[in-house]
Amino acid sequence: MRLSIDHHTIYRFTQPQGRLVQMLRLTPENTHDQTVASWRIDVDCDARLRPGRDGFGNAVTMLYAEGPVDGIEITVKGEVLTSHSDGVLRGVHETLPPALFLRATEATAHDAAIAEFAADAVVGARDRIGALHRLNRALHQQFVFDAGRPEPGLTAGAAFRKDSATPRDMAQMFAVAARSLGAPARYVSGYHHTDFEVVHFPTPHGWAEAHVDGLGWVGFDPCTGMSPEEHYVRVAMALDAAGAAPVAGSRLGEGGEELDVDVVVQRED
Amino acid sequence: MGKQAFDEIMGTPGDTTARPELAALGHWIEETPDAELRRRQEAAETTFRQLGITFAVYGENEAAERIIPFDIVPRVFLHDEWTRLSEGLVQRVEAINAFLNDIYGERRILKEGILPEDLVLGNAQFRPEIAGIRPPHGVWAHICGIDLVRTGPDDFFVLEDNARTPSGVSYMLENREAMLRLCPELFREFRVAAVDSYPDLLLETMKSVAPHGTGSNPTCVLLTPGHYNSAYYEHSFLADSMGIELVEAADLVVDDDIVWMRTIAGRVKVDVIYRRIDDDYLDPLVFRPDSALGVPGLIAAYAAGNVAIMNAPGNGIADDKAIYSYMPDIVKFYSGGECKLRNVETWRCREPQALKYVLDNLEDVVVKLVDGSGGYGMLVGPTASKQEIEDFRAALIAEPHRYIAQPTLALSTVPTMADGGLSPRHVDFRPFVLSGSKGVQVVPGGLTRVALKEGSLVVNSSQGGGTKDSFVLMKDQSQRMGAGGMTQTMGGMSQTLGTMLPSAGADT
C-alpha cells in the first residue's frame, strides 16, 4: 500500500518567545514491511534541524529556533510503501531488551483495576498471543472511541475509569494491562489510514506493541481491536506516550501557547 | 556497640597506649589539655559559621541552619594501609566505569547471567533515555565518593558506592585548613599528604574528558541548581578554586547540538559540565518535563558527542542499593580478579530466606530502604526501641522488596571530644576517587564522619554526626616538616595558609 502523510503542527504564542528547542519524533524508518519513499520536515521560521537518535533507538530531529518567534509551523510530508505484516514487527534494530518494557511509568503505573480487567479478559486463552488478542478486543469493546485530542497528563489508570477513550489512552491502558500479564509492552506513535474518504485527525495515531517469545514484537490497536496492518505507518515507540511524543518542546518566554495539529493520511494506489 | 571495636589511634581494645606508629599523636592527645582542644574546636566552628558552612536538616521546621560539628582529633591512615585501600578503590571505580559502559551498551553482564536482568532493566535508576550513548572517552563515574567503614587496620568494608554527584569534598578541604591553622604541631610531627590539590586534580580530570577535537583549553563549567540548594557553598567554592564559571541552567543554551554559555562578551562554547543537579532535572525534553533547573537540548548535545557531562547521566544504576550486593561479582567480572574491597554482608529481603533471617534477627541487624539515603528510613536493631522494631517488622512484611539488611559491624573508633573529655566514637569514611581519560586516582584524604553520640553507629550529619580531618601519612616519616613548613606541596601545586576560604555543602 502506498500511503501519503500530510502532518501540520502549529504553535501560536501569545507573546514572542526568545528561543525554541524542540525534539521531534516525526521520522519513520524502514522496516521489513515499511519503506519510506520520501519524507521531509519543513519549518516556517529560521530554525536549525539536527538529526539524532533517542535512547529507544527512535530517529529524532532537534529543532533550534532563535527568537523572537510568535509561532511555528512544522510540516511533515511523505510517502511510505507498506506491505502485509500480520501485525508482526520485522527488520527493526532494537536497542533495548524486551524485559525493559515490563517497566511502569507515571502515565502507565500499575493499576489494580486494569490488571483485574486484563486477567478476566484473557480467561480461556491458550497462549500468550491469544491472550493479547483477547485483551485487545476486550479494551476495544469496553470504551467508546473518543476522536478528540487527548487530555494532557491523563494516566492510564484514570482513563480506565471513563467511558470513552482516545487512541493514546487506549494504547497506554493496553500497555499497563499487558505488563500486568507479564508481557513486555510499549507505546507506538505513527499514522494510520482509515477506509473513509479524506479524514483530518487531530493528532498522529497511537497504538501498542507487546513482545511474544518466538514471534517478537506484535502490534495491537485497541481502537480497532485488531493488529496494525499495512494501512499503518510506524514512527516511534517508548514506555508511554510522552516518551514517544511527536514533539517535545521547550520555549523561553512569557505567555501561553495554542496548539493546532492536523493529520491527513491518504491512500495513493 | 557492645562489641570491642578497633580504635584507629589507640589500637586493639584494651591497649592504653597509642599504636606505635602513632605514638606522637598519643602524646599530643595526652599532653594537650581538654580545655585547649575544646578552644581550638570552637575556633574552627566559629570560622565555619562565619563562612556560612551550614546545612538544613530535613524534617525540622525551624529555619535555623546548623553547622556540622567539627572534632579536633584527626583520624590517621598509615601509609601502607592507605596504599592497600587505594588499590581496592581504584579497582572498584574502574569496575564501576566498565559496568556503566557495558550496561548502557552491549549488556554483556546480563547476557552472561552475572546479574538478574530484571534487577537492572526494571530498576528506575537504569535510564533507557540515554541507552546507546557513549560519553566522551568512555568515562562515566568521574567523581566517586565511596563510603567505607573499618573494623581493623586493613579491614575495610564498602557501604555505598556514590557514583552520581557525591558531595562533602569541601569538608575534606576546610577541615584540613582548620587543622593546619589550629594544630600546626601535628604537621611537624607527621608528614601528611596534602589534599589541597584536589581542585586542580578535579580540573585536570574535567579537561581530560573534553570531547575529542576540543583543543587544548576546553571550557569547563560547574552547573548548580542554585543558591537554595543545601550544597551551594560547595558548588561555589569548587568553581572558585578551579577558576571556572559557576552557572545555572538559565546561563546555558543549546543550539545546533552545541552547549553555549551566555556571557557579557557573547556566547562561549562549553565543552565539559560538572553538574551538581540530578538526572531528573538535567533536560526537560528527555527527563522530567516540568524541570526548570535543566537545559533543554543538553542530552542531544551529549548524544552528539559535543559535550561531556560529569558525572554521566544514568550512573544511578551503579550505586543503587539493590545492585550493591552484586558489586563483588561485578568487580570480578570486569577486572578478572578478586574484589579487593569487601562489601558488608547483605540480605536481600526480596529473597524469602533472607527475609526470614532478617525478621528473626531484627534486634541485631541494620535494615535499610533500597531507595533511601541520608540515614532516613533505617533501623539500627541494637539501639532501636521495641516499637521501632515492630514498626519495621510490619513494613518488611508488607514490602520486603524495598529493604535490605546488614549485620552491625564493630565499627572502628577514634578518640573524640565528648562532654566528659576524649572518648572513642565510631567513624566512617568517604574518600574521593577521580576518573579521567588517563585513568583513576585517589585523593590522599577524604571525609571522615563521626557519630558523636556514645555507641551510635549513625554518622549522618542530619542524625547528629560530625566530621574530622583524615590524615594520610606519607611514606617517609623521617623527614618531618620544619617549623615554618605550613605550605604543603603536592601534584605541583601549593597552598599557603590563609589565602583560601573554603566553604561547604551538605552531605548526602
Instruction: For chain B, list the domains and their CATH numbers.
Output: 20-344+409-495 (no CATH), 345-408 (3.30.1490.270)
Q: In the structure grid, which three cell numbers stand for residue A5, read together?
A: 502523510
**Cβ atoms of A89 and A234 closer than 8 Å:** yes
How close is the nearest chain A Cα to the Cα of B256, in Å?
6
A153-167, A188-202, B228-242, B363-377: lowest mean pLDDT where? B363-377
Mean pLDDT in residue range A143-166: 94
Contact yes or no for B131 and A53 at CB 8 A: no
H/E stretch holding A177: helix A167-180
Of A22, A62, A242, the CB nearest to B257: A62
Q: What percent of chain A is helix, strand and coil (3-state, nearest 5)? A: 20, 45, 35
Residue B491, pLDDT above cutoff 70: no
Distance, in Å, from the CA atom of B199 to the CA atom of B473, rounded to the nearest integer, reads 21
B49-63, B73-87, B397-411, B494-508: lowest mean pLDDT where? B494-508
Among the residues of B310-351, which ranges form H helices?
A: 321-324, 327-335
Position B495 scores a pLDDT of 36
Position A78 scores a pLDDT of 97
Helix (H, G, I), strand (E, B) or coil at B149: strand
CB atoms within 10 A of CB A198: 8
Which residue type occupies B46? T
How close is the nearest chain A Cα to the Cα of B126, in Å?
9
Contact yes or no for A248 and B121 at CB 8 A: no
Mean pLDDT in residue range B261-288: 94
The pLDDT tens digits of the residues spanning B164-204 come to 989 899 999 999 999 999 999 999 999 999 999 999 999 99
Mean pLDDT in residue range A52-65: 97
Residue B291, pLDDT above cutoff 80: no
Residues of chain A with Cβ-Cβ distance to B126 below 8 Å are 100
User: Would you call B289 an interface residue with chain A, using a CB distance cutoff of 8 Å?
Assistant: yes
- Count CA atoms within 13 Å of residue B198 on its CB side: 28
CB atoms within 10 A of CB A267: 12
Beta bridge pairs of residue A48: A64
Residue B451 Cα to chain centre, angstroms: 16
Residues of chain B with Cβ-Cβ distance to A60 below 8 Å are 300
User: Would you call B115 an interface residue with chain A, using a CB distance cutoff of 8 Å?
Assistant: no
Contact yes or no for A248 and B289 at CB 8 A: yes
CB atoms within 10 A of CB B414: 23
**Cβ atoms of B126 and B366 closer than 8 Å:** no
Task: Residue B301: name the closest of B253, B269, B239, B258 by CA.
Answer: B258
Tell which of A17, A19, A50 to mutate to test the B interface (max B CBs under 10 Å): A50
Mean pLDDT in residue range B207-235: 92
State whether the Cα torsion A144-A145-A151-A157 is positive or negative.
positive
Nearest C-alpha in B relative to A153: B289
User: Would you call B121 an interface residue with chain A, using a CB distance cutoff of 8 Å?
Assistant: yes
Percentage with pLDDT > 70 across chain A: 99
Task: Residue A135: name the closest of A111, A149, A115, A112 by CA.
Answer: A115
Nearest C-alpha in A relative to B130: A55
Position B479 scores a pLDDT of 57
- The b-or-e profile of A148-175 (16+ CB within 10 A means b, else e) is eebeeebbbbebbeeeebbbbbbbbbbb
Distance, in Å, from the CA atom of A53 to the CA atom of A48, rounded to the nearest integer, reads 16
What domains, with CATH codes, occur in chain A?
2-81+247-267 (2.60.40.2250), 84-243 (3.10.620.30)
Of A50, A56, A250, the CB nearest to B257: A50
Q: How many CB pairs under 8 A join A and B?
A: 79
Using N-to-C axis directions, what is the helix angle for B79-103 and B327-335, rounded to 10°?
Answer: 80
Contact yes or no for A53 and B303 at CB 8 A: yes
CB atoms within 10 A of CB B361: 13
Position B12 scores a pLDDT of 79
- What is the distance between the terminal CA atoms of chain B, rounded to a whole angstrom? 24
Residues of chain B with Cβ-Cβ distance to A57 below 8 Å are 132
Position A269 scores a pLDDT of 80
The pLDDT tens digits of the residues spanning B398-457 come to 999 889 899 988 899 999 999 889 999 999 999 999 999 999 999 999 999 999 988 887
pLDDT category, B508, cuts 50, 70, 90? Answer: very low
How close is the nearest chain A Cα to the Cα of B436, in Å?
25
Distance, in Å, from the CA atom of A180 to the CA atom of B155, rounded to the nearest integer, reads 46
Helix (H, G, I), strand (E, B) or coil at A32: coil
Tell me which residue has cell 547476557. B111
Distance, in Å, from the CA atom of B259 to the CA atom of B136, rounded to the nearest integer, reads 15
How close is the nearest chain A Cα to the Cα of B123, in Å?
8
Of A56, A64, A102, the CB nearest to B128: A56
Beta bridge pairs of residue A212: A216
pLDDT category, B54, cuts 50, 70, 90? Answer: low
Which residue type occupies B70? F
Residues of chain A with Cβ-Cβ distance to B297 below 8 Å are 21, 23, 62, 64, 250
Contact yes or no for A100 and B130 at CB 8 A: no
Contact yes or no for B300 and A23 at CB 8 A: yes
CB atoms within 10 A of CB B480: 13
Residues of A with a Cβ under 8 Å from any B Cβ are 19, 21-23, 48, 50, 52-57, 60, 62, 64, 66, 95-97, 99-100, 102-103, 239, 242-243, 248-250
Position B457 scores a pLDDT of 79
Percentage with pLDDT > 70 across chain B: 89
Of B121, B131, B254, the CB nearest to A55: B131
Of A48, A103, A239, the CB nearest to B255: A48
Distance, in Å, from the CA atom of A159 to the CA atom of A169, rounded to the nearest integer, reads 6
For A74-107, give the DSSP string: EEEEEEEEE---TTB--S---SS-GGGGG---ST
State whether the Cα torsion A51-A52-A57-A58 is positive or negative.
negative
Mean pLDDT of chain B: 88
**pLDDT: is A244 or B456 the higher one?**
A244
- The b-or-e profile of B428-438 (16+ CB within 10 A means b, else e) is bbbbbbbbbee
Mean pLDDT in residue range B354-363: 94
pLDDT category, B60, cuts 50, 70, 90? Answer: very low
A86-100, A170-184, B4-18, B147-161: lowest mean pLDDT where? B4-18
CB atoms within 10 A of CB B119: 18
Nearest C-alpha in B relative to A19: B253
Residues of chain B with Cβ-Cβ distance to A239 below 8 Å are 128
Task: Residue A259: name the closest of A149, A121, A120 by CA.
Answer: A149
Nearest C-alpha in B relative to A245: B285
pLDDT category, B374, cuts 50, 70, 90? Answer: low
Residues of chain A with Cβ-Cβ distance to B135 below 8 Å are none
The pLDDT tens digits of the residues spanning B111-144 come to 999 999 989 999 999 999 999 999 999 999 999 9
Contact yes or no for A53 and B257 at CB 8 A: no
Asked whether the bond before B311 is cis by omega within 30 degrees of 0, the reply is: yes
Helix (H, G, I), strand (E, B) or coil at B280: helix
Position B65 scores a pLDDT of 63
Mean pLDDT in residue range A220-230: 96
DSSP state of A66: E
pLDDT category, B494, cuts 50, 70, 90? Answer: very low
Residue B490, pLDDT above cutoff 70: no
Q: In the structure grid, which three cell numbers stand for residue B72, read together?
A: 579536633
Position B266 scores a pLDDT of 92
| ipTM of the complex as predicted | 0.95
Asked whether the bond before B444 is cis by omega within 30 degrees of 0, the reply is: no
Residue B58, pLDDT above cutoff 90: no
User: Would you call B258 an interface residue with chain A, using a CB distance cutoff of 8 Å?
Assistant: no
Of A21, A54, A57, the CB nearest to B297: A21
